Structure 1
Amino acid sequence: MGAPPATSRRVDVALAVATVVVVALTVGAGLEAERDPAPAAYAFATGFGALLLVRRRWPLGVLVVTVLGIFVYYALGFPAIGQALPAAAALYSAAERGRTHAALVVGGVLVGVAAYFRITEGLPATYLLSYELLTNVALVVAAVALGVSVRVRRRAREDQERLRLAALAEQEAQAERRMQAQRVRIARDLHDSVGHTVSVIAVHAHVAAEAVGRDDALVTASLERISVATASTLRELRATVRVLRTADDDTGRGTVGLGGIADVADATRAAGVAVDLRLDVPDGAVDAAIGAAAHRIVQEALTNVLRHARAQHVEVRASVADGWLEVAVRDDGVGPGDGARADRGTGQGLRGMGERVGLLGGALTSGAGDDGGFAVHARLPARLAP
């Protein structure tokens, strides 16, 4: 990516004007010539500058025409202006546009021709080697080196810009991947929440159906529990929708944390299972995403208890020690090896919990408890890695 067109045009005009002025001043200061400066000599100065206006399109052509113009200028006997001086800008342009080898070759030819004619004119070799030849060589080398330097810096800027754009593209891709991961987490949250609520509704609906006409109070209580469960799930669904409608990729928003475990335990108790709940986790001790994961683990474990375990009692424990959150759920119901309930430890719920914990840097185990029943244990970092 080169300079903007307007800036490039201004640079070309400035370089052309500078060349015209320098060469014209040198023509006017010439002392040794076959005739006095004439308007044609100044016309050559103007021509050398005008050629630079098209240097970007034809850098090598501008260089060749400039050198030929210098030869014609001297052949007409105009005041000496040096061989390399009028060609300096053209040499620079050729090198700056990537024609470094051609610039060096043409510059060498120019210096060699100048030295040859100076020797044939009888110029002392000591003067030629100590002053004029060295001056011409230095001017050619400096012009080419400056052109190469400008080109290298421009390419470095272009490379930096490409790297910047590539970095921005990678950041956007990472943001999109994070968003996709967030959508997956939200989908799992919705699955866990709705699944638990449906289980609670099913249990209470069954209880209400059995109690119709026999225990109106139990029917009313079951219907109230169904109403509370559905209302809670609907609130969470609305919160999730709000998260999806915002651009903020905050893993803690729209999810229920450790504080929501008590409600899950109450719903399980209402379904007829005793829940012994103990949460030894101070406020702010774990990140929101960790708390949300712990909530979903307990919710899924209790849902499995209602669906499969035929348990009478469940223990739920959560504590923080040495930077780790320990979550354990144990029941006294049917274990994973008991006949028809053998699939209890291989369902999508447990697989989802294991994936969730693994993504957060923790580990999850599940299986038959030491005293029978079923146990789920998760170990999560209290804080997410930066």
Structure 2
Amino acid sequence: MAISWSARLEFIATWVLTSMFVFFLWKRREIKFQTLSSWLLGGLTYFLTSVFWLFSQGALQDWYQQTVLVWFSNPPAQPKFTSIWLIMNAFSFLAIAGLGITCFLVIYFAKRSQFAASVLSIILILLSALVGERFELWQIGGYHAGAWIFEISNRVVLSPVNILFATGLVSSSFIIFNYITGKMTDKFQIDIVFLAVINVSLLSMLHITNADYIHMFVMPFVVVSVWFAKTLVFNSSVSWKQIQAPLVTTVLVFALIATGGFISGAVKPLSAYKSETLRGLFDQNPVIRDAIDTKMNTVANFSKDGIWSFCISGLPTIARGEYLGKDKWVWNLEPEPWMIERWTKVKKNDFMYVCALSPGESSLLAQNLKSQRIVKVTEGDGFSIYQARENLV
């Protein structure tokens, strides 16, 4: 957690929740006060060292504004947790996990024809992975359902990750509850309970509901899931040995398809980027390569003396210093009032890199274009460059 900290608030939440459990262990006299104080002192020392480093670099106030204050000021680009949103995401998660469970059951019950069951599972996975492209443009009453199906289809090969995440989360909650309430404490190893607490605390990483975060921290969920299955669940009617072979076969089937997909992509011809910023990098799609090259060159041409970025994805890159931002924010994941205030800082002849504006900013853009305070200089794939003809107010 300390190494991954990088001044992100999610890890503070993880550390606080884990520290509460360490304190609980001390209260139950399962660890000494020295262990508790060492844990707290170590975490606080690392955190305060990070704060001191930010201060020494003159970045403490900016870190506070961009990391702490912004998340308590109605930040944009956050999902609205409506019932439809919850149902759709739950269905997506379960649909992807269900594919792996289906393959496991097919292999498990086909005890005499494991090879045929494996081939059938491969066919099921391939069909699920290919169906997305066929229905990508499908719409139902104006709702773009095909995009939803396409997104699910793109992730089917990660079905084992979803299964292990769900299993690990449920078993972690079960372990923590029974440990705290004193039930079956003799069966719980303290390191497994500690991992279970970390698993629950890591849910703070899902605050932006990005499914990719699951794949970043799934390993402790895997450990708890395997331990839980071997220790508590399959002690009676179903033994670990009975499910071990079909489970391994199922995972190998998914790994085989994932490897095949990677190899098929790796052997495609590469197109080298031509812009100075991306020199040495390659793309497998020359059309996308050309669009990105054009974007990089265009922004570089208009940012010699600095450029304002009003774009949710920020300036394309500032890695090699070709681009110079007019301010310290290079993307617009700021509350809308903050972004609108930044428009007033644009001076005469300043260039502006604009894309994906908030409603308030779109209104400002329209007003300034109508009054000719700003003019469009050029545009590209998903972005436009404007220049201020006078100071914006």
After TM superposition, the score normalised by the length of structure 1 is 0.19
- Normalized per residue, which structure has more helix? 1
Q: Name which one, 1 or 2, has greater alpha-carbon Rg.
A: 1
Higher relative contact order (CA 8 A, sep 6+): 2
